[in-house]
Structure 1
Amino acid sequence: MDTFPEHVFLLEGAASFLDVVYETIEAHVRRTGEEYEQVITGIEGADVGDVDHESTAVLYVYALGTVEPEEAKAWIERALDRIADDHNMDLSRAGVQVTREGELEEEEGTNEEV
């Protein structure tokens, strides 16, 4: 049986919104044992729970490795949109950046002068 490593994405943005994202995804995965929005298998972060709502936070989102990274990122973006709609947090959602772990290093490596 082949196993596929999970994709890891970084969410960076308003702590108030990412706190809601964390709670929503964590509760769903724990309660159902299934992926959130078909691809999200887990979430973690150091700045969740009792956060300063004026600050920013970073969350790690884990997605199924059997899905292409671009598709997983699109599903994560949809999940964030849905959570923002459910909690009337569209403005906070607009400031959240989703980056695949390692993506920034890859871009830096291709932009370096030889």
Structure 2
Amino acid sequence: MTAPARPDDCLFCKIVAGDVPAEIVRADETTVAFRDIHPQAPTHVLVVPRSHYADAAELAHHEPAGLADVLRAAADIAEREGLTEGYRAVFNTGAGAGQTVFHAHLHVLGGRSLQWPPG
């Protein structure tokens, strides 16, 4: 299935295209990962699919292999970053859940104790 056209105003599409600078920590054919500019933990990396989908649910529905690629990238990043004690992988789906950029993305958080529930 073909991904929808990338919106001209999508920040993450611009990062994927190289039009907006970011500290890229991993990139492959299907995903790009970069450090969050407002980190919530010592390690806070965003993993985005190169395909534009508004959120994780849309990505899962239209491109399930892309969702699996995002999760594999997260595991690779956790290993590279030395998150041996564990890490949190978070999708915020929808404005009510705190999503502010409407391009599917996974937060990889670690490097400190991550209590549950979050906060």
* Structure showing greater relative contact order (alpha-carbon pairs closer than 8 Å, 6 or more residues apart): 1
State whether TM-score is above 0.5: no
Normalising by structure 1, we get a TM-score of: 0.39
Identify, as 1 or 2, the structure richer in helix.
1
Structure of larger gyration radius: 1
Normalising by structure 2, we get a TM-score of: 0.38
